[in-house]
Chain A
Amino acid sequence: MMRLSRSALIGLAVLIALPFLIRFFFAGSERYYLHLLIQIFIWAFIYTGWSIMGRFGLTSLGHGAFTGIGAYGCVLLWNYVGLTPWFGIPIAIVAAVLVALLVGYPCFHLRITGHYFALLTLALTEFVRLCIVGLRDYTGGSLGTQPKRYGDGFSLYALQFETDRVISFYIALALWLAGLVVWMWVDRSMDRYALEAASQDEEAAASVGIDVTREKLKVTAISAAMCALGGAVYGQYQMYIGPDTIAGLGVSLNIVFAVIAGGLWVMLGPTVGAVFTQVLSEVLRVTIQSTAGLQSAFGSSVLALDTLIYGLLLVLFIIYMPKGILGTILERREKKSASARAAPANAV
């Protein structure tokens, strides 16, 4: 198995102790900070799930469909069949994986890649969102819906922990760690080399005996399953799901953007992306709401200001920092250490 470096272990210990640190230092706003962290971990897990296929040139805009299937599948089974999320989540994941394979197989078999793949998966996202809106008798349409509260809102059976955010925090943390383990597992498997070869040149990869379709389907299934799980957990945590918050093109685009901003090709890149986007939108929201001048100038539409800055940053990121925040930092450090190693040799 993999060995963890010392800094990783220290980091992990800090994360585990985090709720207590927060309770100690920010006693007044404990719930707020926990909420922010839980959001970051759940989205970081979803982003990591996307990057598992995204890093091989499979730019899917369809993952909003998988998070949607995960969240709605779980909640609808609970609300209308009374099935506990312990079974509901696996069923929703299986459904998402089936959809992924159903769309993925013809795509990969017919070698649909690049823009075409992105636009086709975009259609999938829209299809799922429209189905959710169309089935409004069950899903609440565009207003969204809530999982039925079980008892006092704290139950292991219903996986509802509304009253205790610390438990939700540890669930989100565990989820995120599991996501990283899956990432490493894929990264160290033979599939990675096969897929990297295929993303460079499909014909050549196929000619040396790589079953490109099969390899791509594997990562697609893993990726869809992770996003569905993330969507389901998000729904259970928020106790509300809406077609625009957990399904649809907005979610798909946010996933892709956050990963690009953080760094697509490094393990913690999607996590950095999640921290960056969540913290950014929180900071912008708080600043904007507390600035009276902006309020009076724009009225209620002032909230769009954070989207504006978010969009501008994304454009700048993609143009000037295509490797993302973490990717760029790691690259700089590598260059520095390489030149540091070279320098003494020159001196002697």
Chain B
Amino acid sequence: MQCELDIFFLEAVLNGLLLAGLLALLALGLNLVFGVIDVVWICYAELVMVGMYGINYAYKTGAPFVVAALFGILLVAFAGLLLHQLVIRPVLESAPINQLLVTGGVLFVLQAAATLAFGIDFKTLGIRLGSLNIYDMSFAYSRIITFAVASAAMLVLWLFLSRSYIGIAIRAIAQDRQIMPLMGVDHRTIYLVTSAIGGGLAGLAAVLMVLQYDIYPQIGQQFGPLIFMICVLGGLGSMIGGFIAAFLISEFIAIGGSCFATEWGYAIAFLFFMIVIFIRPQGLFGGKA
């Protein structure tokens, strides 16, 4: 236990901030799908895993990283599209419990398929970017790039949702599912576009994650619950809320992890989440739930 307000504490805080960028990006895609289609993709982190394997595969076959990254993003965007068309659409009218669980079934399928295709051993791209050293602190460049790209992606998405026609239609559907079809917005198209964007964001997260983490079939379990928590904590539909929630959660993880053991950082984050939801059920920045 070494919890003093020294330079290492500051390092933990700043590393937490960098982690927040990635988590916020992860939560963003799920938040978008949840807000628009009103379905939780329990398998969201598994889509990211699929993207990571896709990038790894493309990179190992000799494609430059940028091409592999693009391939990964498109792959997961397509996976999101398929997920909606094949799995979500048939259950759109059924009970919410079934919608939640059907994607849970997909979670098992994706995890098992990845194990069958690539084995259980850890895979890595082998790209080393080094790290930035200031005073006694060290920050991996991969984390800094992640933070920058994630922030840029959030800005682009925000511009898209507030400026473009489809973006505005997406937000309108999220506000009122019944009225919008009467206004001439085809909700099926909107759902498909949203699923593809949600998948694309998962793909982008995958691009950033292959730079930092090893790839293995169960990696989704490490991130999945965190992403749901951030989504709900931030308040659905609130992108700023999502970012602040991601920041809070990752600080708990980073500081808790540096003071105690890693699990305790996570455990405190989950406890914090439950307490906040009891105080503000609609999330930190959500409107009326």
Contacts and interface: CB of A to CB of B under 8 A. Distances in A.
Interface of A: 54, 57, 59, 103, 106-107, 110-112, 114-116, 118-120, 122-124, 126-127, 130-131, 133-134, 249, 253, 256-257, 260, 298-302, 304-308, 310-315, 317-319, 322
Contacts of B232: 116, 119-120
Interface stretch (B53-61, B151-159, B265-273): B265-273
Contacts of A103: 274
B263 A322 contact: no
Contacts of B228: 119, 122-123
B266 A130 contact: yes
A94 to B, nearest CB: 21
A306 B108 CA distance: 10
Contacts, number: 142
Given A130-B267, A322-B95, A115 B100 contact: yes
Given A299-B119, A308-B108, 18 more contacts: A57-B97, A106-B278, A115-B96, A120-B274, A123-B229, A124-B274, A126-B266, A130-B266, A131-B263, A131-B267, A134-B267, A260-B98, A301-B119, A302-B116, A311-B107, A315-B102, A315-B109, A318-B105
B: interface residue count bin: 35 or more
Contacts of A319: 87, 90-91, 102
B112 A253 contact: no
**Which of B105, B264, B267 has most chain A Cβ within 10 Å?**
B105
Chain A binding surface, main DSSP class: helix
8 contacts: A112-B281, A123-B228, A127-B267, A134-B264, A134-B267, A302-B116, A304-B115, A318-B91
Given A112-B281, A319-B87, A308 B274 contact: no
B40 interface: yes
B120 interface: yes
B104 A307 contact: no
Contacts of A124: 270, 274
Contacts of B100: 59, 115, 118
A68 to B, nearest CB: 13
A127 B98 contact: no
A314 to B, nearest CB: 4
A59 B112 contact: no
Nearest to A59: B97
B31 interface: no
Contacts of A120: 232, 274, 277
Contacts of B105: 257, 311-315, 317-318
Contacts of B112: 304-308, 310-311
Contacts of B66: none
A304 B91 CA distance: 26
